[in-house]
Chain A
Amino acid sequence: MKKIYMDHAGTTPMRKEVLEAMMPYMTERFGNASTIYSLGREAKMALEDSREKVANLIGAEPGEVFFTAGGTESDNWALRGIAEANKDMGNHIITSCIEHHAVLHTCQDLEKQGYRVTYLPVDRYGFVAPEHVKNSITDDTILVSIMHANNEIGTIEPIADIGKIIKRQKRKIYFHTDAVQTVGKIPVKVDELYVDLLSVSSHKIYGPKGIGALYIKKGTKIKPFITGGAQERQKRAGTENIPAIVGFGKACELIEAELEQQYEKLSRLRDRLIRGIMENIPFVHLNGHPTMRLPHNVNVCFEFIEGESLLLNLDMKDICASSGSACTSGSLEPSHVLLAIGLPHEIAHGSLRLTLGMDNTEEDVDFVLEILPGIVNKLREMSPLFAERKEMPKNV
């Protein structure tokens, strides 16, 4: 049976064209981009060509794009690099409580180093209020970091509105956004978002893993992330991973050309999936905003059941998905995002995230819709909570 992969917010399969573009750089074109002979120059050209492709996709200058080992490194660099380089200007950072752990855990670490961090709450859809950002700014604020869209519930944050507020301040406050989930899904242009820093990941857009980029606006005061050689304009040392960079560039080029068409296709499938679930399964909640959400994201909670059991059952039908249940997280805590939008523990327990991708079809969606009610039902029949719920009307 064919596997139905619906966890594209987690990672995506690499495209054939991407692999083909990478292959020569793993074998005959193995040169080190820092050398002057032809092999090295060839690598250097490939490096700069890829940089341009990444820059094009996000509307940046190539000189503002720095390759990293992925989205997590980009987030780490943005936060630590700005905090350290601007210590003399203040020690206050503003972020939200639904950020990816790459941002949240980095902020917690910065707190240990003496920085003060404000974690803004979100409303029930997961929106950060621009007003809240504005009211949290103090004379010590040096950095604001708010994700472009949430990886779990898909809510797209009002980044441009927040960016404008920050730009209007008299003092320089840097603005970073983690755009790992939005690049390649919706139009992302750095100047339209009014950001100074923006994190991108390759493996979320059908490129290879272990590579990403940080956009750093010209003139930004930031500390180098890794010291050593002169690579990445002395900001991120280490011999460049040319094959991965070439693959990343190729993935950006391909997705840019298909962005509009993919957006339409994905949001159509998404809406079909959401409608099918909401109409056919009782006691279900949609997490995130109904329309202001990523085109490929579906996130729902089924009451009375637990997410890991749900995922295992889906896996038995060759459907790959994810959940924010406590039982699926190594820490046995439910997802911080689901708690932040106000869900009680037991409802967060029954969360299911299905994230669509370019290979998914209407048939895939319909197959999931056919399978899902039975699984939910089976687990509910097993659940003591459901039995109590069913009895309730009799008692009143």
Chain B
Amino acid sequence: MYNEKVMDHFSNPRNVGEIVDADGVGQVGNPVCGDIMKIFIKVRDNIIEDIKFKTFGCGAAIATSSMVTEMVKGKSLEEALKISNKTVAEALGGLPPVKMHCSNLAADALHAAIEDFQKKQSKKGLE
């Protein structure tokens, strides 16, 4: 059902875990089947210095989480924001049609984390 690349990310997921003092945290839920994905980022000088994820979901959900973290680690926020659900699925060499909605989680969680970071920044700016 899944290609080798997906299975590789599923069985050896990169960047699993939490960042305790994260600069941004994004959590999204899957409206289709009820799964949850959470992404933590550490940002320095506009660069995603560290990123970790936690996911409650299927093989595709775990593989896309792992993939998205690998894709944006070391990238600027602008570059990270350009990553879409589609590019994540493509980077994995495609997902089964019934699983396409899972790939929606990964980029959304990442963008939510960046948004969270930016919100915190502007708050700091106000203080």
Residues of A within 8 A of B (CB): 304-306, 308-309, 312-313, 316, 325-328, 330, 332-334, 345-346, 349, 381-385, 387
Contacts and interface: CB of A to CB of B under 8 A. Distances in A.
Given A316-B11, A326-B34, A332-B32, 5 more contacts: A313-B11, A327-B58, A349-B34, A381-B16, A384-B27
Given A306-B57, A382-B55, A384-B54, A330 B27 contact: no
Contacts of A316: 11
Chain B CB count within 10 A is highest, among A305, A313, A381, A384, for A384
Q: Is the interface of B mostly helix, strand, loop or mixed?
A: mixed
B16 A306 contact: no
Contacts of B7: 312
A327 B33 contact: yes
Interface residues of B, number: 26
A384 B59 contact: no
A327 B57 contact: yes
Interface in B42-77: 54-59, 61-62
A32 to B, nearest CB: 41
30 contacts: A306-B56, A306-B57, A306-B61, A308-B59, A309-B10, A309-B59, A309-B62, A312-B10, A313-B11, A316-B11, A327-B33, A327-B35, A327-B57, A327-B61, A327-B102, A328-B58, A330-B98, A332-B98, A332-B101, A346-B34, A346-B56, A349-B33, A349-B34, A349-B35, A382-B54, A382-B56, A383-B55, A384-B27, A384-B54, A384-B56
Which 6 residue pairs spanning A and B have beta carbons closest together?
A: A327-B58, A326-B33, A384-B54, A308-B58, A384-B38, A383-B56
A175 B38 CA distance: 51
Contact of A345 (B34, B58, B61, B98): B34
